[in-house]
């Protein structure tokens, strides 16, 4: 023994967090769905003022491995909220969620960090606390809510409250996501939006999002060939995603019920009950006509949300 004081470490916690697709067309900042691709995060809190970060999968060589890393920032926030004496961490992550593509990579990082830190600290916070903390960091609840609860989520922010209802659609919904090989940050895609929109576009979206949620809750698919349409954000973002409306049309022609921007894009998502491979191929082929290389993912709804796996 050197006679030094042994450093205190927390228990090591491993959590799994799903990708998410937000908006679903007309449900800007409100609707989201958890998808079955995942990141894993292993976290050990340490007393020593030192951060060690190891990344595999998406983001290697791009995501910071110092105190600027988003996961460390949220972990530190959770530690500070409890007043615990930890100053550093060992963070190991494996990421399968594509970065800055509209599949909720930032929400996955935020939620994984908060949930893992909460377990490491002995669970001082409940799921509602996690939802509020994650929404405050992300700025809107539509990705963090399904990442936490799984399923399809409808969320609202009212003054300081964040409320979410998670449910499983009564339709065997398949999701086909065409993922372009370029990044589009949410920050840039939000800058493309106007300060205000015409009342007729607002009322269009209210009717469409209400019909979409009603269809999902009842299993009545009749309105779904219209219900994914949007006039609130997609028209303004179209110029950032070459071929967007033609890819939507190709997906529908190949059998999709509807199609939309996934989150803030650039990925485009089609919803269907069958014909997934054909729809995926049609979307990628149409993107290629606009010189946008892409690949497609066939996804199902994750029903569990973020949970501890070790
Ligand atoms: N595993 C991760 N670890 C640390 N930071 C991450 C991780 N994943 C994403 N981030 C941070 O989130 C940023 C991407 O967030 P952004 O909101 O632009 O895209 P997105 O969340 O993938 O898309 P959307 O919100 O449209 O679904 C990255 O540039 C990085 O700063
Ligand atoms: N609702 C958000 C989702 C992406 O974070 C947007 O469309 O900007």
Q: What is the interface pTM, i.e. ipTM, of the complex?
A: 0.98
CA 306 to chain centre: 12
Domain ranges of the chain: 13-166+302-308, 174-299
Residue 266 and residue 101 in contact, taking contact as beta carbons nearer than 8 Å: yes
Closest-lying ligand to the alpha carbon of 101? 1
Cβ–Cβ < 8 Å for 136, 176: no
How far apart, in Å, are the Cα atoms of 263 and each of 50, 191, 193, 257, 267? 35, 14, 14, 18, 8
Alpha-carbon distance of 39 to 56, in angstroms, equals 10
Out of 29, 154, 157, give the residue to mutate to test ligand 2, the one with the largest number of ligand atoms within 8 Å of its CB: 29
How much is the pLDDT for 21? 98
**Residue 8 pLDDT:** 86
What pLDDT does residue 69 have?
98
* CATH class of this structure's domain 13-166+302-308: alpha beta
Q: Which ligand is nearest to the CA of 21?
A: 1
Ligand 1 site, residue 41, Cβ cutoff 6 A: no
Kindly state if the Cβ of 140 falls inside 6 Å of ligand 1.
Answer: no
Which ligand places an atom closest to the C-alpha of 99?
Answer: 1
Instruction: Tell me the best of 96, 100, 113 to mutate to test the pocket of ligand 1, counting ligand atoms within 8 Å of each CB and taking the most.
Output: 100
CATH architecture of 174-299: 2-Layer Sandwich (3.30)
Is 31's C-beta closer than 6 angstroms to any atom of ligand 1?
no
Q: Does the Cβ of 53 fall within 6 Å of ligand 1?
A: no
Q: For position 7, what pLDDT does the model report?
A: 54
Residue having the nearest C-alpha atom to atom 8 of ligand 2: 264
Domains 13-166+302-308 and 174-299 share a fold: no
Compute the C-alpha angle 46/16/266, nearest 5°: 115
Q: Is 137 in the pocket of ligand 1 (CB under 6 A)?
A: no
Closest C-alpha to 296, from 275, 279, 273, 308: 279
pLDDT (tens, 9 = 90+) of the chain, 310 residues, equals 344 444 589 999 999 999 999 999 999 999 999 999 999 999 999 999 999 999 999 999 999 999 999 999 999 999 999 999 999 999 999 999 999 999 999 999 999 999 999 999 999 999 999 999 999 999 999 999 999 999 999 999 998 799 999 999 999 999 999 999 999 999 999 999 999 999 999 999 999 999 999 999 999 999 999 999 999 999 999 999 999 999 999 999 999 999 999 999 999 999 999 999 999 999 999 999 999 999 999 999 999 999 999 9
Length of the chain: 310
Instruction: Specify whether the backbone of 259 is left (phi greater than 0), alpha (psi in -120 to 50) or beta.
Output: beta
């Amino acid at each position: 023994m050197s006679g030094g004081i042994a450093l205190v470490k927390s228990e090591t916690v491993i959590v799994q967090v799903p990708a998410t697709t937000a908006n679903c067309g007309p449900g800007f900042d409100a609707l989201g769905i958890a998808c079955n691709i995942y990141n894993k995060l292993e976290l050990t809190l340490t007393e020593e003022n030192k951060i060690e970060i190891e990344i595999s999968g998406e983001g290697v060589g791009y995501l910071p491995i110092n105190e600027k890393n988003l996961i460390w920032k949220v972990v530190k926030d959770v530690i500070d909220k409890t007043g615990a004496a930890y100053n550093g961490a060992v963070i190991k992550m494996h990421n399968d969620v594509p970065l800055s593509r509209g599949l909720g990579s930032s929400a996955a990082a935020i939620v994984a960090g908060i949930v893992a830190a909460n377990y490491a600290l002995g669970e001082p916070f409940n799921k509602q606390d996690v939802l509020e903390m994650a929404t405050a960091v992300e700025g809107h609840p539509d990705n963090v809510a399904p990442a936490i609860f799984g399923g399809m989520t409808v969320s609202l922010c009212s003054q300081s409250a964040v409320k979410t209802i998670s449910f499983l659609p009564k339709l065997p919904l398949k999701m086909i996501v065409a993922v372009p090989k370029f990044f589009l940050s949410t920050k840039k895609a939000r800058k493309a939006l106007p300060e205000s929109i015409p009342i007729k576009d607002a009322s269009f979206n209210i009717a469409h999002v209400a019909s979409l949620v009603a269809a999902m809750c009842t299993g009545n698919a009749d309105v779904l060939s219209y219900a994914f349409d949007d006039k609130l954000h997609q028209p303004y973002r179209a110029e950032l995603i070459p071929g967007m409306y033609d890819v939507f049309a190709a997906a529908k022609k190949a059998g999709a019920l509807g199609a939309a921007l996934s989150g803030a894009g650039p990925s485009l998502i089609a919803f269907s009950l069958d014909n997934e491979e054909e729809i995926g191929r049609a979307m990628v082929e149409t993107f290629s006509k606009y010189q946008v290389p892409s690949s497609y993912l066939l996804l199902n709804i994750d029903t569990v949300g973020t949970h501890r796996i070790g």
